[in-house]
Every structure is written in structure tokens, then in C-alpha cells.
Amino acid sequence: MKYRVMMAALLAIIASPVCAAKLSGAPQILDANTIEIAQTRIRLSGIEAPETDQICLDTHGQKWACGVAARDALINYSNGRIWDCQTAGVDKYGRFLGSCFVEGQDVNAWMVSSGWALSSGPSAHVYLINEVVASNAFAGLWSGAFITPWDWRRRNKSTIIVGASSVPNKAQELLLGSALLSDPPSPDCVIKGTVDGNGERTYHSPGQISYGQIDMTKKPAERWFCSENEAEAMGWHRAAR
């Protein structure tokens, strides 16, 4: 009974108007899904962009760091301008869920129509037409082949690879191989994330004793991060040593 009361209270807090707010400012871009304004982390709602360590195939069937490219596209689009965000609710990592605008343009919609994110979640229909536009224009991720961001983390041999045009024959080998993330997706993304048997998420930075002991081709190795702030925004905690 006590557990049920606590859960009901938590849900009431999440659904309350307190979680709804307006924030304005020039954001720090943590990844293509997440920004930070005035020390408040906001997860762009209604869309799903690749995480910074996701790898895709380009128009020539070669591997490229599409997650880093998506993040950098958002950084370039922002270009130091002021964002106006309306938040409503929080996700499981404690990030506020928000719709954001720059000079009146819907950032969430821009990410999808530019091909750097897919329409997703309960409000997926809101950005579906933007996704069709991006697909038809072979924009961003649609210029080659890729795994949908929500399938990337749990990918296996049966994971479907999509693209606006034909998917290369070697796509399965290139995007589903166990050694895919043996090297960081970018020289700037060298933080290692691990998940232990209890589900504890820990990140390890260069210079820590544990860092060199982690083989990213084997469990519990999980993913690469580009910054400690990004790792913490995704629910990881710094390793003790």
C-alpha cells in the first residue's frame, strides 16, 4: 500500500502544472535530443534523434557518425540564438519535455524536416509530414541507411535497417557487428558508459583507473559519450575511480 501511495504521489507531481514552464535563453546543446537552458535540461518532445554514438551509412554505403552530425547540425542551426521553450512533464531521466522555438520557428519540426530526427512518441503524428518531406528529399539520416534511434540501443541480428532508397547489401554487417563501437564515433567522444548486472549506469572518463579496463566490444560496455554533462543527462553517473 505504501508503495502505491508513493507512486501515486510521484505521478501527481509529474503531471502537475509545476512541471509546465516557459524557458528562454541560448542553450547548450548536449546531443540532438537534449539541450540545457539556465541549468535546466530539456528533452525535445515528439521527436527521436540519434544519440551521439550512433553510426549510420552514408549515400555511398560507408559508416559515418550520424549522431555527432545530428548534434552538430542542431548546434549550427542554433548559432547562439535565443530559444523559447514550453515544457510539460519530465522523462525517466528527469529531463523536462519541451517544444522549442527560435525566432518563431519550431525547432522540433526543423530537426525532423531536415532529416536529423524522426517523428516519435504520443505526438508522433504532429511531425509525420515533416518526416515524409525529409525522406523524399534524402535529407540528413535519409541520405543513406540507418537504424531508427529507438532500435539502436537494443539492436540485434533481426533489427530492421531503413533508408529513403535501397539499403546496401553489407548494411547488416556494418551496423550490427559486435565491434561496431570498438572506437569512439569522434575523437571528442571518448567517455565510456557501462551498465552492470543491477542496471547501474556508470561512465568512465580518460585518466580514471577503470577507463583502460573497459573493452567496448564486450559487456558491460554500453556506449560512448562526448561529455560528462551529456552522460549525466542520460542517467549515467561518474565512476568512483
Kindly report the CATH class assigned to 17-177. Answer: mainly beta
By the 8 A CB rule, do 154 and 181 touch? no
User: Which residue type sits at 201?
Assistant: R
Handedness of CA 48, 105, 93, 214 (dihedral sign): positive
Q: What is the pLDDT of residue 167?
A: 85
Q: What is the pLDDT of residue 19?
A: 57
The three-state DSSP-derived secondary structure of the chain is CHHHHHHHHHHHHHHCHHHCEEEEECCEECCCCEEEECCEEEEECCEECCCCCCCEECCCCCEECHHHHHHHHHHHHHCCCCEEEEEEEECCCCCEEEEEEECCEEHHHHHHHCCCCEECCCCHHHHHHHHHHHHHCCCHHHHCEECCHHHHCCCCCCCCCEECCCCCCCHHHHHHCCCCCCCCCCCCCCEEEEECCCCCEEEECCCCCCHHHCCCCCCCEEEEECCHHHHHHCCCEECCC
- What pTM, to 2 d.p., does this model score? 0.87
**Dist. CA 29–CA 34, nearest whole Å:** 6
- Distance in angstroms between the alpha carbons of the first and the last residue of the chain: 39
Domain boundaries, the chain: 17-177, 180-241
User: Which residue type sits at 207?
Assistant: G
pLDDT along the chain (241 residues), means of 10: 38 46 96 96 97 94 96 98 96 94 97 97 83 96 96 90 86 85 94 94 96 91 94 95 91
Burial class (CB in 10 A: 0-12, 13-18, 19+), 175: buried
Q: What is the pLDDT of residue 38?
A: 92
Q: What is the pLDDT of residue 170?
A: 86
By the 8 A CB rule, do 54 and 108 touch? no
Count CA within 13 A, CB hemisphere, residue 30. 21
Q: What is the pLDDT of residue 13?
A: 39
User: Which residue type sits at 92?
Assistant: K
Residue with cell 567522444: 189
Q: What is the pLDDT of residue 14?
A: 40
Q: What is the pLDDT of residue 80?
A: 96
Q: What is the pLDDT of residue 124?
A: 66
